[in-house]
Structure 1
Amino acid sequence: MTDINIYITDEEKYYNDCVNIRKRVFVEEQGVPEDKELDEYEKESLNVLLLFNDSPAGTVRYRKIDDSTIKVERMAVLKEYRGMGFGNNLMNFVHVHARQSGYHWAKLGAQTHAIKFYTNLGYEESSKEYMDVGIPHIDMIKKL
């Protein structure tokens, strides 16, 4: 039997698990400079961790933009766990948590290769393509 747990990472140990996942995916796989991966929004963001059979497998974070809107960032699933639906699990957790917290909109900057993933979750494109840390992105928005 498989066991999936998703929660807000209040403890430093679990926050470090989130950062380790992000470093493996963004820094090691995608070549994002390490000093760009951790940013000024670390403390104000809610970090979410997905554990699969007690092993850290994926993460995402979100932060308040204004009273009705959140920004979803740093969605990452380790390579060995991709294709198992964990990205959907993480995003659905964020949507429910944010809605229960009183937010009505979610925004994100999607890497262009992930546009279909976010479109399938109900996001719509809201900008032209732009480069961020050398990777093409597009802004997307969703009503929660």
Structure 2
Amino acid sequence: MNKIRVRLADWHKDNADIQRIRNAVFVAEQHVPPELEFDAEDPGAVHFLAMEGDYSIGTARLLPDGTIGRVSVLKDWRGLKVGDALMKAVINEAQKRNLKQQMLSAQVHATAFYERLGFKVISEEFLEAGIPHVDMVRDSSEIA
């Protein structure tokens, strides 16, 4: 296996890869309706692609207000720290943009993953696209 790297993506140029990953993870696996998966926030977001060689295996996005979302890794690459690499790149970019606080809505089963990265649960459980979620926040000024 090649070393996994994460790069900034261009919504227009890399759209096929971003859509392929998100469709596989959210639409096909988790049955999220496509009209909920792709929204008006995508064109203005900063997108990321996790790569193995020249093949895109994961994606995430960062909104201008510090909201992280659409974190997804193709099934065959899960458990290989791809999500960690993606999230570290997103957090690093948020900090470069002086976004002191990063927020996300996490699927409940993934809260421990985000807690390891410094996020804290700040809401009760709620349903989003029929999947249990919680809101989480990470304050860069509190983390050394």
- TM-score by structure 2 length? 0.93
Equivalent residue letter for 1:109: S
- Following superposition, the deviation at residue 102 of structure 1 comes to 1.1
Tell me the secondary structure at the aligned position of residue 12 of structure 1.
coil
The CA deviation string for residues 42-93 of structure 1, in whole angstroms up to 9 with x for no partner, is: 111111001112111100001022xxxx000000000000010000000000
Spell out, residue by residue over 1:90-131, the C-alpha distance to the aligned partner (whole angstroms, 9 max, x if none).
000011111011110000000001011101111000111000
Report the Cα offset of residue 139 of structure 1: 0.1
1:10 is aligned to 10
CA contact (8 A) 2:11 2:43 kept: no
Q: Aligned letter for 1:45?
A: A
- 2:130 is matched by which residue type in structure 1? G
Query: Counterpart amino acid of 2:139?
Result: K
| Cross-structure match for 2:92 | 96
Q: Within 5 Å, give how 1:55-74 maps onto structure 2.
A: 55-65=55-65, 70-74=66-70
Choose from 115, 123, 141 the match for 2:137: 141
Sequence identity of aligned pairs in percent?
Answer: 35
Match of 2:103 among 91, 102, 107: 107
Partner Cα separation in structure 2 for residue 96 and residue 42 of structure 1: 20
Which residue does 2:47 correspond to in 1? 47
Per residue, is there more strand in 1 or in 2? 1
SS across alignment from 2:44: coil
CA pair 110-11 structure 1, distance change in 2 beyond 3 A: closer
The answer for unaligned runs of 5 or more in structure 1 is none
2:83 counterpart (78, 84, 87): 87
Q: What amino acid does structure 2 have at the position aligned with 1:135?
A: I
Partner amino acid, structure 2, of 1:121: L
Work out the CA distance in 2 between the residues paired with 1:104 and 1:59. Answer: 22
